[in-house]
Amino acid sequence: MSSAVTKPGRGPRRPAPLVRRATARDARRLTRLVRTSRAYEGPYAPMVAGYRVGPDYIEAHRVFVAADRDDERVLGFYALILEPPELDLMFVADEAQGLGVGRLLIGHLRGEAERAGLTGVRIVAHPPAGGFYRSVGAEPTGTVRANPPAVLWDRPEFLLPVGA
């Protein structure tokens, strides 16, 4: 089976993904994950068309990868900005959607944010991801208006509580 994680009842159970700090060597794989995400097809495609997660970005920010323990295949990643506290990027590979990778990453993000002394993290979400963020406890705080030509649509804004 080629999947790193399988849904219950659908084949052998694999170990949970490992979350680790991203390195410069992950840059190409993270860029590919962003550019090929089905969440950014259709009207959202221009947003990621030339997007690049470079080694410089990885070195400048707290970027973490969820990878399959067996083959180090990237299943998802996130980037946490500390000042001001914000989730800058979060992507889960299309084939890993619905398998708990996003929840694993949010749990890890909460731990990182708590260790950094944060009480909450701002999230400006891709519109289709709003339900996911609500499901992990993020509280709606408003809407970030479109900013053409970079972003052509309004986006929901949340605060993800950290700690306690």
In this predicted structure, what is the pLDDT of residue 5? 47
In this predicted structure, what is the pLDDT of residue 163? 83
In this predicted structure, what is the pLDDT of residue 10? 54
| pLDDT values of the chain reduced to their tens digit, one per residue, 164 residues | 334 444 444 556 667 899 999 999 999 999 999 999 999 988 888 888 889 999 999 999 999 999 998 757 899 999 999 999 999 999 999 999 999 999 999 999 999 999 999 999 999 999 999 999 999 999 999 999 998 887 888 999 999 999 86
In this predicted structure, what is the pLDDT of residue 161? 98
Both tokens of 49, joined, read 């068309």
Among 15, 6, 110, 34, which residue's Cα sits nearest to residue 72? 15
Among 95, 89, 81, which residue's Cα sits nearest to residue 36? 95
For the entire predicted model, the pTM comes to: 0.88
The Cα 64–Cα 60 span in angstroms is 12
The Cα 70–Cα 54 span in angstroms is 25
